[in-house]
Chains A and B, each alone.
Chain A
Amino acid sequence: MGVFIEELRIRNYKCYESADVKLQNSTLLLGANNVGKTSLLEALELCFTPYKKISEELIFLKKDEVLSREKSILLDVLISPIGDSFDDTWHEFFGDFVVEGESKDFVALRTIIKYSAAKGEYELDRKALNAWPESDDVVSFTDFNSHSVKREVIEAIPVFYLDAKRDIVSEMNDRFSYWGKLVKDIKLSDDDLKDMEILLNDINDQIIGNSDVLKHLRDKLNDISKVVNSSNNRVEINPVSRKIKDLDKGMEVRFSDSHSESFAISNQGMGTRSWTAFLTLSAYIEWKIIDMEREGRPYHPLLLLEEPEAHLHPQAQRKIYRQMQELTGQKVISTHSPIIAAQVNLDEIVHIYKKGESSSINYINLEGLGDTDVRKIKEEVIKTRGDILFADTLILCEGETEDQVLPEFFKEYYGLEPFELGTNILGVGGAGKYKPFMRVAKALDIELFIFSDGESRIVSDVKKHYKQVYGDVSDAKIADYITFLPDHGDFEKYLVQSGYKNELLKVIDEVKGKESFIEDYIERNNGQSGKPQRTEEVCPRCTQNIFKSEIKDYEGEEGFNTALIECLGSIKTEYSSQIGQLILQRDNIDKIPQVIRNFFFKIAKIKKYPINAAFGEIKDGGIYVEFDTETTRDS
Chain B
Amino acid sequence: MLNLTPKQQEIVEYLDGSLLVTAGPGSGKTRVLTQRIANIIEKRKGKVLALTFSNKAAEEISERVKEQIAEEDFERVEVGTIHSFCLDVVTNKGNQIGLPSGLALIENEKDKLELLKRSCDSLNLSLKERELREYYLQIQNFKQNFITPDLARKEQHNIDVINLYESYNNLLISNRVIDFDDILFYAYKVFVDRPRVAKNYTRLYRYILIDEAQDLNETQYKIIQALTRDFYNLMMVGDSAQSIYGFNGSDSDIMTKKFVKDFEPKEFILKENFRSTYKIIDAANRIQPHSKSQSVYPLEGVLEVHSFADEEEEANWITSQIEYLIENGSPWVENEIELEDIAIIGRNRYLFDSLEKCLQKKKLSYSFGGSNVHLECETIEMKIFETGLRVLVNPHDDLNYSKVNSYLSRENQTENFLQDLLSNREINNLELNDEIVNAIINAWNILDKDGSDFMVALNEIEKTYLSLCQLEENFQFLIQNDLELWKERWSKYCKQSVPGGRSLPYFRNQVSLGKFREDNNEGVSLLTVHTSKGLEYEIVFVLGLTQGTFPDYRAKTHSQKIEEKNNMFVAITRAKRECYLTYPLIKVMPWGDVKRQQPSEYLLFID
Contact = CB atoms under 8 A, between A and B. Distances in A.
Q: Are A and B a genuine interacting pair, yes or no?
A: yes
B204 A105 contact: no
Interface string A102-122: 000100000000011110000
Interface stretch (A88-96, A218-226, A480-488): A88-96
Interface string B73-96: 000000000000000100111011
Contacts of A324: none
Interface stretch (A144-152, A299-307, A412-420, A621-629): A144-152
B151 to A, nearest CB: 25
Contacts of A146: 88, 91-92, 503, 506
Contacts of A444: none
Interface stretch (A123-131, A229-237, A396-404, A510-518): A123-131
A98 B96 CA distance: 13
Contacts of B449: 115-118
Nearest to B510: A146
B100 to A, nearest CB: 8
B203 A100 contact: no
Interface residues of B, number: 29
A486 B327 CA distance: 120
A142 B504 CA distance: 13
A96 B500 contact: no
A320 to B, nearest CB: 39
A519 interface: no
Interface string B39-51: 0000001110000
A130 B92 contact: yes
Contact of B501 (A88, A96, A100, A149): A149
A143 interface: yes
Contact of A148 (B92, B197, B200, B498): B498
A123 to B, nearest CB: 8
Contacts of B194: 100
A142 B500 CA distance: 16
A121 to B, nearest CB: 12
A130 B453 contact: no
B419 interface: no
B196 interface: yes
A130 B498 contact: no
A131 B498 CA distance: 24
Contacts of A142: 101-102
B231 to A, nearest CB: 15
Contact of A143 (B101, B498, B500): B101
A150 B203 CA distance: 20
A296 to B, nearest CB: 10
B102 A143 contact: yes
Task: Pick the most buried of B92, B96, B503: most chain A CB atoms within 10 A of its CB.
Answer: B92
B95 to A, nearest CB: 5
B478 interface: no
Contact of A92 (B47, B95, B446, B502): B47
A88 B46 CA distance: 8
Given A100-B197, A146-B91, A148-B501, A117 B450 contact: yes
Contacts of A98: 200, 204
A147 B91 CA distance: 10
B442 to A, nearest CB: 12
By size class, the interface of chain A is 20 to 34
A99 to B, nearest CB: 8
A91 B200 contact: yes
B200 A118 contact: no
Contacts of B506: 146
Contacts of B500: 125-126, 148
Contacts of B91: 146
B84 to A, nearest CB: 10
Nearest to A70: B449
Given A100-B196, A118-B446, A95 B204 contact: yes
A397 B446 CA distance: 65
A205 B449 CA distance: 66
A512 B204 CA distance: 83
A98 B200 CA distance: 8
A118 B88 contact: no
B446 A144 contact: no
Contacts of B203: 88, 91-92
A92 B45 contact: yes
Given A92-B47, A142-B102, A130 B200 contact: no
A124 to B, nearest CB: 8
A105 B194 CA distance: 12
Nearest to B509: A146
A131 B47 contact: no
B481 interface: no
Interface in B415-461: 446, 449-450, 453, 456
A118 B442 CA distance: 13
B158 interface: no
B450 A116 contact: yes
B360 interface: no
B497 interface: yes
Nearest to B47: A92
Contacts of B497: 148
B461 to A, nearest CB: 16
Nearest to A145: B92
Contact of B204 (A92, A116, A118, A126): A92
Contacts of B453: 117-118
Interface string A140-182: 0011111111100000000000000000000000000000000
A88 B45 contact: yes
B95 A130 contact: yes
A144 B503 CA distance: 10
Contacts of A126: 500
Nearest to A117: B449
A150 B88 CA distance: 18
Interface of B: 45-47, 88, 91-93, 95-96, 101-102, 194, 196-197, 200, 203-204, 446, 449-450, 453, 456, 497-498, 500-503, 506
23 contacts: A88-B45, A88-B203, A91-B203, A100-B194, A100-B197, A116-B449, A117-B446, A117-B449, A117-B450, A118-B456, A125-B500, A130-B93, A130-B95, A131-B96, A142-B102, A143-B95, A145-B92, A146-B92, A147-B501, A148-B500, A148-B503, A149-B501, A150-B501
Given A92-B47, A148-B502, 10 more contacts: A117-B446, A117-B453, A118-B456, A130-B101, A131-B95, A143-B95, A143-B102, A144-B101, A146-B506, A147-B501
In the A-B complex, list the 10 residue pairs whose CB atoms are closest, starting with the nearest: A148-B501, A143-B101, A117-B449, A100-B196, A118-B453, A146-B91, A146-B506, A131-B95, A130-B92, A145-B92
